[in-house]
Structure 1
Amino acid sequence: MVPRSAGSLAADRARYDRATAHLDAPLAIVDLEAFDANAADLVRRASGKPIRVASKSVRCRTLLERVLAKDGFQGIMSFTLEESIWLAREGFDDILLAYPSADRARFGELAADPKLAGAISVLVDDPAQLDLIDAAREGGAEEIRVCLELDTALHLLGGRIRVGARRSPLRTPEALRGLADLIGRRPGFRVVGLMAYEGHVAGVGDSIPGRPFRSRAVQLMQRTARQELAVRRDAVVRAVREVADLEFVNGGGTGSVESTVAESCVTEVAAGSGLYVPRLFDNYRAFSGRPAALFAQPVVRRPGVGVVTVLGGGYPASGAAGADRSPVPYLPEGLRYDPQEGAGEVQTPLLGSPADDLRIGDRVWFRHAKAGELCERFATLHLVEGDRVIESVPTYRGEGKTFL
């Protein structure tokens, strides 16, 4: 996160309070100045390679349209087939479904509609997934665009230690080439892309406040992982290109933009969280962003000196359970959770001297731990410029879409 002085934070709080004074909390905002600055910084970091926007980290059509209108951004990385089809029918194209699907009904739609089939590429890492798609065709004869995924995990001590997400089973050039060759000889499918998400680099902060030894260990792991993956990814791309005409090679994420685009075999990088900059993206040496997406909860109680209670606020993020998955009180500065209660389902006590200056009805502004998951809690995002809301737009939830 870009360091903000106490004066700047106080000014931001006053600005957000003025902008939303006509609205009742709970509510969520996106600061468009911060959003656009974060987008520009992602483009700078990508050094001329296009950025595919991860829709799961945005979950708002208006903001997807806003960022895709900017130079340097191209295409969407979606998270379900239902979402991909909905976006394609709303006018988006060049959509990469980055996770395997078992949605038979929508594979039937995809195979029967030439517009959808031309706009969407689906992820495959197992021949059984092809069998499922073929069984779902129901007469649809459109060619399905396929993207293969490479397992990026770092294996140490002969594979006894694994660092990285458990995603694709495909790890070697031979395995990827073999599946690409099989698909090339199978009617109804065409390999068009390769993706490799190095989440242990892109999604793990390497500068943890107060934990220098942990930070150093993460830095060492990530340097080793980047070096190993660069060699292996290049070999995989060369092997797959022997049997398939790849249109794109996608890699990385917000936290690894610079290192991913430095690999010559990578043609594009994925990013999305870097637009909102949630709390999990504060602790990186390579970049700093500005928090753009916030939510406000109203003060409804004053239980005692140094304590206020806000309505709700218990919005945990996905992933391994831990304190880092909770939202954090952001404005005013200096508030913290009661360790006996944490962020609650219907009420959240907050401790700290700033509590004594808060009145019933005042707002406390929070940052969510992960980016787009905030939008699963709110139907509307209020877009702020300066000290006014210029537009209120629906999230996916506000459009009645709950894909996962």
Structure 2
Amino acid sequence: MPVARAGDSEVARNRLWTRLSTAVSALDPAPATPVMVVDLDAFDANAADLVRRAAGKPVRVASKSVRVPALLERALSIDGFRGVLAYTLREALWLERNGISDDIVVAYPTVDLVALAELVGSPSSAARITVMVDEVEHLDLVDSVRSSRAVPVRVALDVDAGLRLGGQLVGPRRSPLHDPDDVMRLARQVLDREGFALVGVMTYEGQVAGVPDDLPSQRARSLVVRRLKSASMSQLGERRQVIAARLADLVELEFWNAGGSGSVEATAADPAVTEIAAGSGLLVPGLFDHYRAFTPRPAAFFGLPVTRKPSPSTATVHGGGFVASGATGADRSPIPWAPPGLHLTSLEGVGEVQTPLTGHPAALLRVGDLVWFRHAKSGELFEHTNTVWLLAGDRLVDEVPTYRGCGNSW
């Protein structure tokens, strides 16, 4: 049966509207809009739930889904979390340099020669950062920027975790490494090459972790998705066991990273996996509302002011066009969340400068009122602001910089 969802009833959303708007109104001077807020109560509850679902295996924070240093540090301070899964090498170097983490895995291969040169030129960074590879050319790039192999570079193999079904791939189009023989071939090349240390493996099953499977308006599709997820985890589990056994004859790995917020339990149950990657489950964006596996507690919001009332039944807010990445569709748009009952219009959607809203609350809204939205994806929201306010209880207790606020653009 679907899990009961916290925080999405009309009563809860009206209370949230009052709580957020009252907290902002208490600030003097009033903050500029859009006002970005993270609810620490929900964040901490989500973190505890991820640890529970991981069943004793450490959770590595996926920084792409957070992008706020203070929140990364907050998650890492919680028992059950360990290390960061970064999305660029420059980001990993910055996190290590600023003492945010000393255990960082870069989730994607890099061709950034400047960042690679910095990595091989710093023994401390090279000891704390693991880069991802899935073909020998990635090793060649590392060697092209160093004059000595005295500083070993830690590498992990990114192994494709997609479902092979009737000759078709279901899942993210990531690594060319799929068959165990291909994995072993590259593993041997890493081990035979001076200046490299093979320390880990990653298998990201995005077709399981990143796809909603309990959409109220798409029951038939959700059933198909759940069956595909089950088949995918079964096939992947068998392949992981084969690869793990064969690698064990060559090297003792430090970690096997897998999973995501949407598949924590299923991934943690695989004995080959030693740690779980998760990030979106901390903030719970709109795309993570409809999973059977866990109870979402939305934790990230942005407030936009009503600036116009073009008709008694329409309220127009300033800004709003924070559309998420991925295949274009309505599910990539921000969700008008509090007060509940507001809707985007089909002709205008979310605009860069203004967004008209309809629905019964629009008649009650006045110029100057704040409407609170949720982004469709986690982390991307904070590319649009330098700072985020942190809400504890009914008060905004701190304003902290995002990656962008720290002067970073990756």
TM-score by length of 2: 0.96
Q: How has the CA–CA distance of structure 1 residues 236 and 140 changed in structure 2, closer, same or farther, with 3 Å as cutoff? A: closer
Within the alignment, does 1:120 sit opposite 2:129 as a pair?
yes
The answer as to whether partners of 2:34 and 2:304 remain within 8 angstroms in 1 is yes
For 1:183 and 1:5, how far apart are their aligned partners in 2?
A: 53
**Residue 98 of structure 1 corresponds to which residue in structure 2?**
107
Within the alignment, does 1:183 sit opposite 2:190 as a pair?
yes
For 2:78 and 2:250, how far apart are their aligned partners in 1?
A: 34
Residue of 350, 356, 361 corresponding to 1:349 = 356
For 1:363 and 1:239, how far apart are their aligned partners in 2?
A: 58
**Residue 132 of structure 1 corresponds to which residue in structure 2?**
141
Q: 3-state SS of the aligned residue for 1:20?
A: helix
The answer as to whether partners of 1:181 and 1:244 remain within 8 angstroms in 2 is no
Residue of 150, 160, 184 corresponding to 1:151 = 160
Per-residue Cα deviation, 1:193-238 (whole angstroms, up to 9, x for no partner)? 0000000000001101121110111011111001000000111111
Query: What is the one-letter code of the residue matched to 1:243?
Result: L
The CA deviation at 1:400 is 0.8
Within the alignment, does 1:201 sit opposite 2:208 as a pair?
yes
Residue of 54, 76, 79 corresponding to 1:68 = 76
Query: What is the one-letter code of the residue matched to 1:50?
Result: P
The CA deviation at 1:6 is 2.3
**Residue 80 of structure 1 corresponds to which residue in structure 2?**
88
The answer as to whether partners of 1:303 and 1:309 remain within 8 angstroms in 2 is yes
For 1:126 and 1:190, how far apart are their aligned partners in 2?
A: 15
Per-residue Cα deviation, 1:33-77 (whole angstroms, up to 9, x for no partner)? 000000000001000000000000000110100010000000000
**Residue 32 of structure 1 corresponds to which residue in structure 2?**
40
The answer as to whether partners of 1:111 and 1:141 remain within 8 angstroms in 2 is no
For 2:98 and 2:323, how far apart are their aligned partners in 1?
A: 30
**Residue 11 of structure 1 corresponds to which residue in structure 2?**
15
Q: 3-state SS of the aligned residue for 2:184?
A: helix
TM alignment of 1:376-395, pairs within 5 A: 376-395=383-402
Q: 3-state SS of the aligned residue for 2:409?
A: coil
The CA deviation at 1:3 is 4.7
- Output the aligned Cα RMSD: 1.0
TM-score by length of 1: 0.98
The CA deviation at 1:303 is 0.3
Per-residue Cα deviation, 1:80-119 (whole angstroms, up to 9, x for no partner)? 0100000000111110000000110111111111100000
Q: 3-state SS of the aligned residue for 2:233?
A: helix
TM alignment of 1:242-281, pairs within 5 A: 242-281=249-288
The CA deviation at 1:5 is 3.0
The answer as to whether partners of 1:326 and 1:369 remain within 8 angstroms in 2 is yes
Within the alignment, does 1:310 sit opposite 2:328 as a pair?
no
The answer as to whether partners of 1:112 and 1:141 remain within 8 angstroms in 2 is no
Within the alignment, does 1:172 sit opposite 2:190 as a pair?
no
Per-residue Cα deviation, 1:232-253 (whole angstroms, up to 9, x for no partner)? 0111111122212200001000
Which runs of 5 or more structure 2 residues have no equivalent in the other structure?
Answer: none
Any runs of at least 4 consecutive aligned residues in structure 1 with deviations exceeding 3 A, and if so which?
Answer: 138-141
Q: 3-state SS of the aligned residue for 2:61?
A: strand
The CA deviation at 1:139 is 4.4
Per-residue Cα deviation, 1:2-26 (whole angstroms, up to 9, x for no partner)? 2543222211111111111122321
Query: What is the one-letter code of the residue matched to 1:131?
Result: D
Q: 3-state SS of the aligned residue for 1:151?
A: coil
The CA deviation at 1:138 is 4.3
Query: What is the one-letter code of the residue matched to 1:90?
Result: N
Q: 3-state SS of the aligned residue for 2:117?
A: helix
For 1:85 and 1:138, how far apart are their aligned partners in 2?
A: 20
Query: What is the one-letter code of the residue matched to 1:179?
Result: L
Identity %: 51
For 2:270 and 2:241, how far apart are their aligned partners in 1?
A: 8
**Residue 243 of structure 2 corresponds to which residue in structure 1?**
236
The CA deviation at 1:140 is 6.3
For 1:7 and 1:125, how far apart are their aligned partners in 2?
A: 49
**Residue 41 of structure 1 corresponds to which residue in structure 2?**
49
Per-residue Cα deviation, 1:335-360 (whole angstroms, up to 9, x for no partner)? 00110000011110001110111111
Q: 3-state SS of the aligned residue for 1:333?
A: coil
The answer as to whether partners of 2:7 and 2:298 remain within 8 angstroms in 1 is no
The CA deviation at 1:285 is 0.4
For 1:241 and 1:70, how far apart are their aligned partners in 2?
A: 31
Residue of 219, 225, 231 corresponding to 1:218 = 225
Per-residue Cα deviation, 1:344-392 (whole angstroms, up to 9, x for no partner)? 1111000111011111111000000000001101111100011111100
TM alignment of 1:328-343, pairs within 5 A: 328-343=335-350
Residue of 304, 317, 338 corresponding to 1:297 = 304
Q: 3-state SS of the aligned residue for 2:41?
A: helix
Question: May I ask how many residue pairs the two structures share in their alignment?
Answer: 401
Query: What is the one-letter code of the residue matched to 2:13?
Result: L
Per-residue Cα deviation, 1:258-287 (whole angstroms, up to 9, x for no partner)? 000000111000000000000000010010
Q: Which moved more, 1:353-362 or 1:235-244?
A: 235-244
Q: 3-state SS of the aligned residue for 2:118?
A: helix
